[in-house]
Structure 1
């Protein structure tokens, strides 16, 4: 029986969270666009141990939207069956940098492998490139594994 409640950041210390945060599943970032409508964007990520780091290029609509409304939700999930789902919420901090963000270079290696990452980085690491580091320190965490943790209102069948 799991005693940690949904919303508790201690859920980051569960096997489910550790597994998904170390995976190459994409994070799906939910944000509010400038026109007030929701957007969901799949993105590579890096977990530092206390912060989820995402990256994008400077000057994008995504950056403008996050600057205006920094409260976000993120899901990292595996289809299953049964599905595994990690839900994060909080406020992002944006840091604009010259060049390729070091964490982005790490993401490229993780998602593409060393050789393909080097080729991909060579294409974007040009004079004048600016990137934005999107850092999320979760203030709310949810975990669903459909074995021991279910969504609220989900009636476990057959028990």
Structure 2
């Protein structure tokens, strides 16, 4: 039985597991405080049930998310064929003193240990505050043109 778009059980599919373990950036869509839409590429970590993003406290993004915590996120590859994971839900924000531990993990994951240490040293200064942005997806979509929608890719002659 094929899972329907929107079903959080899609997080347990190969496409979702692969993208959540990848170093592709997550693209966070949210509504700015002026009411206009925004999309930002961001590093992320998947905890097994929560997508974690990080930001510095005081940023415009954090203010907007506090006001309107409903978001959409995509993690995708260009392909061909493309793989796309779509997530929606409401984020929870937690402000911390210092560098967020998950941010350090993200730096290692995306930059490698050597570059991550140098990058952390640049931001780990007295008075720094960060915000943990956590999303437990309530809606999940997966576009997988190999197993879920193979005809969609085959029709293009590839």
Structure-1-length-normalised TM-score: 0.93
Q: Look up the match of 1:157.
A: 155
Q: Distance in 1 between matches of 2:86 and 2:14?
A: 14
Alpha-carbon deviation of 1:155? 9.2
Q: Secondary structure at the match of 2:73?
A: strand
Give the aligned partner of residue 47 of structure 1: 46
Alignment partner, residue 68 of structure 1: 67
Whole-Å Cα distance in 1 between the matches of residues 27 and 36 of structure 2?
Answer: 16
Does residue 4 (structure 1) correspond to residue 12 (structure 2)? The answer is no
> Is the partner of 2:146 in helix, strand or coil?
coil
> How far is 1:115 from its partner?
0.3
* SS of residue paired to 1:91: strand
8 Å CA contact 2:2–2:148 kept in 1: the answer is no
CA distance in 1, matches of 2:154, 2:33: 40
Specify the alignment match of 1:33 in structure 2. Answer: 32
Structure 2 residue 127 is the aligned partner of structure 1 residue 128: yes
CA–CA separation in structure 2 for the residues paired with 1:141 and 1:124: 33
* Structure 1: stretches of 5+ with no match in the other structure: none
Q: Contact 2:145–2:153 (CA<8 Å) still a contact in 1?
A: no
TM-score normalised by structure 2 residue count = 0.94
Tell me, in whole angstroms, the C-alpha distance in 1 between the residues paired with 2:7 and 2:52. 20
In the TM superposition, what is the alpha-carbon distance from 1:156 to its structure 2 partner?
6.5
Does the residue aligned with 2:118 lie in a helix, a strand or coil? helix
The alpha-carbon deviation at position 35 of structure 1 amounts to 1.0
What is the CA distance between 1:148 and its match in structure 2? 2.8
Over the aligned positions, Cα root-mean-square deviation in angstroms equals 1.4
Compute the displacement of 1:3 (Å). 1.1
Could you give the per-residue CA deviations for residues 105-149 of structure 1, whole angstroms, max 9, x where no partner exists? 000000000000000000000000000000000000000012233
Aligned residues: 154
